[in-house]
């Protein structure tokens, strides 16, 4: 796990200082080593491709793992962030083709695979990665990102120049990219609590879409027309009729293999452990793969607040792990909260819990951790798997009414609901939504009327009615005919892809901790995501039916019966109490932003805080997070 960056340009004047500024902005991603290489690009004498790198050493800790890595024979080079879990089998194939290796890690394997097979190599990878590959013979560069977007890659392009990096802050640190704000990116953040790929809150910076690659040559550089191409799609849904026992056995085997692969490291490894099923699966499967397992849990010391530390400790005892727990109180969390704000690479309401537990693990000199992220999305753990089919049945019953009438009926007949829930339900039932669109809409923080009140109109901004970029649904068929699959794919691509994965990356890497997600192993995803609803959620089955069956003999029985609680923090009480001054300062920062009308933003904040029983804490927090981010961005710009 590392940080990569680079510049492709027709004029190499000042290119090395710019790349080194980008590297400096990502020291936290790679405290162990750094590297810089520059190559000729295209046919122009002054044109160059420069790669920068910050290393967190996980595999092959020797200098042979240094990046950017250059093949002395071909001149090809690579800067690579992430891990390739099947690198050993790929290495064997390449050796059979006559390739020799100097190092023992995965970077050289990926370099030689791309050299030998071109972009076709991407479909052979099981891993999390963002990669920049320089092809010396054609003097062009390939940028690519893993299928689900576990690893980030951002780029900014202008005529004659492309700037790319693992973090938005590094792209801006080049000094070559404007930090002008993007109303569409900000609107998508306010709608969902995180910017929706490929948007960021900066007009010039875009994310390379998950599961995509882009070749950049002299012609595309001059024209500033880098067009990503998808190399991965969600699998076709298999026909019903597969034997249930065979499906369960296959899932158990694939999960075993995924965890085994992801436990390969030349440094100590830990497991995030809560009281639930997903993290317990990780801890149980890691035992034979990693030997003695260290597990970590975090709890919050306030009477009456949800706390999973006792349940996590019970699971740890049953599994025989070496268990550590951190209990935090208000004062300590306040200190962490301010550091979390500073660590943000983009505004998001999620990730403080990951930031806290990552710090606790890194304090024990551990560099790698496993997370249970991805299980809810693949196996049906969220309430959306039950709620969306129910909403679609309701919608089908009243679909004959005009949309405006449906919205009005919801507002009038369900007047007892809190205002925010009523407005959200009116938006949901007022649209002719397929299951994927409805799943995305269920995740909305702010409804259409609220966003319009803040000055953001989806149509004017070129967004879909759900405040998404038009290209956001390119990864899958919008009409699958399988509601469970539709909800699963929407949760994987949108909520997990744009919120959970991005925040897991930035908040773990803030502590120089590599976070791995075995539930998202490529073979696991390709198999489970292709199963029909009858296999994944038979009638009258419990949530995560297949996961429960596959791990029934590997986990203590009480793990399957505990209610899902999670690690929650009292943001509403904090915003009204000890964080009030900080929140007001953040709202002042928003009010000073020309994209917002000053009175509108202050009135909205006052209204939100005046109705704590009617408004979920995430809505006012989104304004605070955005205000803090904008204030920090202005500070960097003036520094």
Domain locations along the chain: 2-230, 233-566, 571-638
Between the CA of residue 253 and those of 260, 288, 485, what are the distances in Å?
11, 14, 22
Look at 262 and 241; give whichever has higher pLDDT: 262
pLDDT digits (tens, 9 = 90+) for 313-337: 999 999 999 999 988 887 888 888 8
Highest mean pLDDT among 44-58, 176-190, 270-284, 468-482: 176-190
Q: How far is it, in rounded angstroms, from Cα 189 to Cα 498? A: 10
pLDDT at 632: 87
Beta bridge partners of 131: 80, 144
Q: What pLDDT score does 70 carry?
A: 95
Determine the pLDDT at residue 417: 66
- Checking if the pLDDT of 639 tops 50, the result is no
**pLDDT (mean) for 412-439:** 73
* Higher pLDDT among residues 603 and 111, named by residue: 111
What pLDDT shows up at residue 32? 82
Estimate to the nearest angstrom the gap between the alpha carbon of 446 and the chain centroid: 21
2-230 CATH, one of 3.60.20.10, 3.10.129.10, 1.10.287.90, 3.90.1150.10: 3.60.20.10
The rounded distance, in Å, linking the Cα atoms of 531 and 484 is 10
Residue 476 pLDDT > 70, yes or no? no
d(CA 438, CA 428): 7
- Give the range among 283-292, 580-589, 616-625 with minimum mean pLDDT: 283-292
Report pLDDT for 244. 92
CA distances from 32 to 55, 70, 168, 231, 380 (A): 5, 19, 21, 32, 39
CB contact set of 146 (below 8 Å; sequence gap of 6+):
82, 125, 127, 128, 129, 130, 210, 211
Mean pLDDT of the chain: 89
pLDDT score for 164: 98
- What CA–CA distance (Å, rounded) separates 409 from 473? 30
Instruction: Tell me: pLDDT of 397 over 80.
Output: no
The residue-averaged pLDDT of 249-275 equals 91
Its CATH architecture, for the domain 233-566, is 3-Layer(aba) Sandwich (3.40)
**Kind and range of the H or E element at 9?**
strand 2-9
Give the three-class secondary structure for 560: helix
Position with higher pLDDT, 307 vs 157: 157
CB of 98 closer than 8 Å to CB of 87: no
The least confident of 144-153, 190-199, 611-620 is 611-620
Each residue of 19-47: pLDDT tens digit? 999 999 999 998 888 999 999 998 776 78
Query: Residue 316 in contact with residue 301, Cβ under 8 Å?
Result: no
């Amino acid at each position: 796990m590392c940080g990569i960056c680079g510049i492709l340009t027709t004029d190499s004047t000042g290119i090395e200082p710019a790349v080194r500024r980008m590297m400096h902005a990502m020291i936290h991603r790679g405290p162990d080593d750094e590297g810089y290489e520059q190559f000729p690009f295209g046919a122009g004498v002054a044109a160059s491709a420069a790669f920068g790198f910050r290393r967190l050493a996980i595999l092959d800790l020797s200098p042979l793992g240094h990046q950017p890595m250059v093949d002395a024979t071909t001149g090809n080079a690579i800067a690579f962030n992430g891990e390739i879990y099947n690198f050993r089998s790929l290495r064997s194939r390449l050796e059979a083709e006559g390739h020799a290796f100097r190092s023992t890690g995965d970077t050289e394997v990926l370099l030689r695979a791309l050299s030998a097979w071109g972009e076709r190599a991407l479909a052979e990878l099981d891993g999390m990665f963002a990669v920049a590959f320089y092809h010396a013979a054609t003097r062009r560069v390939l940028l690519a990102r893993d299928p689900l977007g576990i690893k980030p890659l951002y780029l900014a392009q202008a005529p004659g120049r492309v700037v790319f990096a693992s973090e938005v802050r590094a792209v801006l640190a080049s000094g070559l990219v404007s930090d002008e704000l993007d109303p569409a990116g900000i609107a998508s953040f306010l709608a969902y609590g995180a910017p929706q790929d490929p948007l960021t809150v900066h007009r010039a910076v875009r994310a390379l879409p998950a599961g995509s690659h882009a070749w950049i040559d002299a012609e595309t550089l001059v024209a500033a027309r880098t067009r990503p191409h998808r190399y991965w799609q969600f699998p076709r849904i298999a026909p019903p009729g597969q034997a249930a026992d065979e499906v369960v056995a296959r899932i158990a085997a694939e999960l075993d293999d995924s965890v085994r692969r992801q436990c390969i490291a030349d440094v100590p490894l830990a497991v995030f452990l809560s009281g639930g099923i997903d993290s317990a699966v990780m801890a149980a499967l890691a035992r034979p793969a990693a030997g003695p397992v260290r597990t970590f849990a975090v709890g919050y010391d306030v009477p009456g607040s949800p706390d999973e530390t006792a349940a996590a400790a019970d699971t740890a005892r049953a599994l025989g792990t070496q268990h550590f727990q951190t209990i935090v109180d208000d004062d300590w969390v306040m200190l962490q909260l301010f550091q979390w704000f500073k660590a943000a690479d983009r505004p998001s309401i999620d990730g403080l819990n990951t930031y806290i537990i990552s710090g606790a693990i890194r304090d024990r000199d551990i560099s790698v951790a496993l997370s249970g992220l991805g299980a809810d999305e693949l196996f049906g753990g969220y309430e959306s798997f039950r709620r969306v089919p129910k909403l679609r049945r309701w919608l089908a019953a009243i679909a004959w009414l005009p949309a405006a009438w449906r919205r009005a009926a919801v507002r009038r007949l369900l007047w007892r609901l809190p205002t925010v829930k009523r407005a959200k339900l009116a938006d949901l039932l007022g649209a002719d939504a397929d299951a994927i669109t409805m799943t995305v809409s269920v995740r909305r923080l702010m409804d259409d009327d609220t966003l319009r009140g803040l000055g953001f109109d989806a149509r004017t901004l070129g967004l879909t009615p759900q405040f998404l970029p038009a290209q956001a649904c390119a990864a899958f068929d919008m009409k699958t005919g399988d509601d469970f699959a539709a909800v699963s794919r929407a949760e994987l691509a949108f909520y997990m892809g744009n919120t959970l994965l991005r925040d897991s990356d930035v908040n773990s890497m803030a502590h120089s901790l590599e976070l791995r997600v075995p539930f998202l192993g490529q073979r696991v995803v390709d198999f489970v995501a292709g199963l029909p609803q009858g296999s994944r959620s038979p009638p009258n089955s419990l949530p995560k039916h297949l996961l429960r069956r596959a791990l029934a003999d590997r986990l203590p029985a009480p793990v399957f019966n505990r209610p899902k609680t999670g690690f929650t923090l009292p943001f509403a009480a904090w915003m009204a109490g000890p964080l009030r001054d900080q929140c007001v300062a953040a709202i002042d920062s928003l009010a000073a932003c020309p994209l917002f009308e000053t009175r509108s933003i202050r009135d909205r904040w006052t209204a939100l805080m005046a109705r704590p029983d009617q408004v979920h804490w995430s809505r006012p927090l989104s304004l605070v997070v955005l205000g803090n981010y904008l204030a920090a961005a202005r500070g960097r710009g003036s520094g």
